[in-house]
Amino acid sequence: MTYAMVSERRNWMSYLMDSLVNSGTMPSWEALQYLVTNLLGEAPNPHLHQTKSPYETIQQLLHRIYGPIVEAASRTANLPAQAMIHMFTDISLMGKSAVLVVYFPGQNEPHQLLLLDSVPAWDLVFENSTAFDRWAEERYEWIVNALQSIGHLMESSMLECSDDLQTLLV
């Protein structure tokens, strides 16, 4: 699914489902059931309480939710070939977990924190898909805006790289 499709519809639930299916993580029927079961309903999420390994279950849920949002934002920003974005999680079973999204520009340049989101995983449940779409869109915009704010840094580092290459060639 392309960014244009996401921005036109703003249907993040479908986008997450497509991501789970296209990555080979789950078949479509299982992806739909997983998202509906884990994201829609009343808090706290009973499925996180009933699992035998809550740490792994929360980590997996956060990666399955935030991963496609981060991926869509990185495609929107047209990152240089040597750059990458990575997502880290710090899981808390009692309080809020943290999701960090970091931009790695490459060429030993300093990393940039794009998003630090404090997530109460047990309460990460929405009344309907529209509420989830608003929540996901907000995170997407935060990441895109952060990438745009460092955009001038990306351009200047690419220019510096070309100057360095020119010096080496001369």
Please write the tens of the pLDDT for every residue from 9-53.
Answer: 479 999 999 999 999 999 999 999 999 999 999 888 888 878 899
More confident of the two residues 126 and 167: 126
pLDDT of residue 21: 96
Lowest mean pLDDT among 14-28, 35-49, 66-80, 146-160: 146-160
| Mean model confidence pLDDT for the chain | 85
Lowest mean pLDDT among 53-62, 107-116, 147-156: 147-156
Please write the tens of the pLDDT for every residue from 90-99.
Answer: 999 889 999 9
The rounded distance, in Å, linking the Cα atoms of 14 and 23 is 14
Q: Does domain 3-169 have CATH number 1.10.260.40?
A: no
C-alpha to C-alpha distances, 64 to 24, 37, 38, nearest whole angstrom: 12, 13, 11
Q: Are 99 and 66 in contact (CB under 8 A)?
A: yes
Burial of 21 (0-12, 13-18, 19+ CB in 10 A): middle
- CA-derived radius of gyration, the chain: 18
